[in-house]
Structure 1
Amino acid sequence: MTVVRPVTDLRAVRAVLFDMDGTLVNSDAAVERAWRTWAGEYGVDPERVIRVGHGRPSWDTIREVCPDLDDAENARAGARQLELQYTDLADVVATAGTHRLLATLTLPWAIVTSADRRLTAARLGAAGITPPKVVITSEDIVRGKPDPDGYLQAAAALGVPPEACLVVEDADAGLAAARAAGARTAALRGLAGDVPIKTLDDLVPLLTRRVGPGRRSRAPGR
């Protein structure tokens, strides 16, 4: 059996790529409510939908649980699922450690999310998070997680090789996407990653670093 040794030396990391839902933003309850309502409307087992859908774009989830829908029907079903989430923001908040990490992070960073632009803006706003310059949403990619497309785009936009990026994720699909991109991973929810973390607070000491005597690294992605 292969033993995975957690990584604690992140000095080679030059950029951080964050998932949004479940990583920067706690939207679990809102996501589950939307999927349960949608599943009821489409006659699908809600438990299966929630299990399959974690960390993936809605259209990919719908394609898996409703394989008989054609592309047009899939698009309508996906739009309906997103519509259920746009204004359901009452209990959407930043995850533990998010504000502290972002306030101390001096590396460039980006967000790669399976949400569309409207939902991304709504949830970041509800959580009090100012978006970085680089935000890759479901509208910017051809294939969603676990495909690496989103993370590759984010790394390219920051001008950093994927292998010099740390991806922070809370879902198996996202971690698979990060690995396929060649990035290092920090994993929440007890998942297997190069850096297993309980909250984003755990990354603060690992990503605090200095560049030369008395100088802090700059953050062009902020």
Structure 2
Amino acid sequence: MNRPDLPDRAYAAFLFDMDGTILSSIACAERVWTRWALRHGLDVAAFLPTIHGMRAIETVRSQNLAGVDAEAEAARITAEEMDDVEGIAEIAGVAAFMAALPAGRWAVVTSAPRELATRRIVAAGLPLPPLLVSADDVAQGKPAPDCFLLAASRLGVRASDCLVFEDAPAGIAAAEAAGASVLVITATHAHPLDTPHPGVGDYVKLAPRVDADGRLRLVATGA
């Protein structure tokens, strides 16, 4: 990453997706979902790209499988994911980046259930965030904007005054629908993502800056 094309404004808060944005759990998630897809006779190669950024229950429902209890299947998948955290790792530079943020000005906003999110964050060696909005907290998951609107509300700010760090199309769409700005984290992308938003590979050459009024900016460093 050379000097990135960063948003040139200050924000009230930063909101981070989890999987693919502050940590990578792709390997373990795809192991679990591959087993599920095979049990249901799905084309694994075609199915796996659809799992990222969405709640498990919505991924199951999207397959329109006859006779399948989506809630029960989602619960089973989550239980398997709780048992498989091998290979989970932080996105480069994110721990130092988050450590430099004021506690009341950021949150993690994930499509994972709270218990699974907590397990993955700990497995990645990252500290638990001051605010975690999970799949358990909203009726509609990404790409609906509910999760980002809720996180902003709990931080006491407007979603339109937040910068969302995302990696997946569903999460980007949710942030757009909430009126937030978006920075795409591309560390786990195998192919370029078609998006108008700026993107960076990781956090190694990024740092937050706190303005005198407490608002947050992104700056590029020489690291």
TM-score of the aligned structures, taking structure 1 as reference length: 0.85
Is the Cα–Cα contact under 8 Å of residues 38 and 80 in structure 1 kept in the other structure? no
Moved more, 52-61 or 166-175: 52-61
Give the aligned partner of residue 88 of structure 1. Answer: 84
For 1:16, which of 8, 11, 14 is the aligned residue?
14
1:186 touches 1:193 (CA, 8 Å); kept in 2?
A: no
The equivalent residue for 2:140 is 143
- Give the % identical residues: 35
Q: Unmatched 5+ residue regions in structure 2?
A: 187-191, 217-223
Query: What residue is the counterpart of 1:39 in the other structure?
Result: 37
Amino acid aligned to 2:114: R
Q: Which has the higher strand share?
A: 2
For 1:56 and 1:8, locate their aligned partners in 2 and report how far apart those are by CA, in whole Å: 26
Separation in structure 2 between the aligned mates of residue 92 and residue 138 of structure 1, nearest angstrom: 20
Q: Is 1:129–2:132 an aligned residue pair?
A: no
Match of 2:155 among 129, 154, 158: 158
Per-residue deviation, 1:54? 1.1
- In structure 2, which of residues 47, 50, 69 is the aligned counterpart of residue 49 of structure 1? 47
Q: 1:3 maps to what in 2?
A: none
What's the CA shift for 1:42? 2.0
C-alpha RMSD of matched pairs (Å): 1.9
Q: Give the 3 Å change call, closer, same or farther, for CA 193–27 of structure 1 in structure 2.
A: farther
* TM-score between the two structures when normalised by the length of structure 2: 0.85
Say if 2:205 is the partner of 1:198: no
Provide the secondary structure at the position in 2 that maps to 1:186: strand
Q: Unpaired runs of 5+ in structure 1?
A: 1-5
Residue 208 (structure 1) shift: 1.3
| Letter in structure 1 aligned against 2:59 | T
Residue 130 of structure 1 and its aligned partner are, at CA, apart by 1.7
Aligned to 1:171, which of 168, 172, 179? 168
**Cα-to-partner distance string for 1:15-71 (whole Å, 9 max, x where unaligned):** 00000001111101011101101111222222232111111111111111134345x
Would the aligned equivalents of 1:187 and 1:193 in 2 still touch at CA under 8 Å? no
Report the counterpart of residue 185 of structure 1 in structure 2: 182
**1:152 aligned counterpart, secondary structure:** helix
Alignment size in residue pairs = 205
